[in-house]
Amino acid sequence: MRRYAWRSVWRGLAASLAIGLLACGLLGTLVGALAPAGELAAARVRWSARVFSRYRLVVDEQTRAGSCRQELQIDDERIVGVLQNHCVRVPSWTVSNLFTWVSGLNDGAARCYPSAVACVCHAIYSARASFDPQLGYPRQVTYRWDLQTNWGYAGHWERLLRVHELPSCEQVTRRAGGYIVVRVVSLTPLP
């Protein structure tokens, strides 16, 4: 009889915990999905109202692997000169490309990991951007991704009942979250 009572307590505790964590996860996803679409549109309008088409752009990129800098000369939104490139990739940043990147990041969607069939975790993506108040170009863009436990996956509950252990994405993969921060150090109009 005591064993049955103890199992009932564990099941009740697991169900309460699941409901609470599911509610927190849904709220976190909704908050992360909010994107300042009006701010992005206003920044694009300010950028399109500028009086110059040639400029020098200095951009810093930061990731877990380190940071690098590119200094580029832009004419009519095409890279016409690379003055400095300490990154390990071909330079591609123009203000138009930054806007395109920012608008593509604002979906706030969660994707299944490792696959849609075995959706053990959700890969959560978030993006934040700040814009220059006068010219409107993106001054800093931060893009982050992280893995969060998919509480709707039945295997997690089976594990909880079987071994009394809460699941975590670290048990599934060694893949850690990450980030990239792109910061415009300077933008100088050219004659």
Angle at 152 between CA 147 and CA 154, to 5 degrees: 110
CA distance 78 to 175: 36
> pLDDT higher for 116 or 179?
179
CA distance 113 to 182: 26
Task: Output the pTM of the full model.
Answer: 0.70
Cβ neighbours of residue 124 closer than 8 Å, sequence gap 6 or more: 28, 29, 32, 110, 145, 146, 147, 148
CA distance 161 to 159: 5
Which pLDDT tens digit goes with each residue over 24-81?
A: 444 444 444 334 688 999 999 999 999 999 999 999 999 988 999 999 999 999 999 9
Backbone angles phi, psi at 175, to 5 degrees: -65, 120
> pLDDT higher for 104 or 30?
104
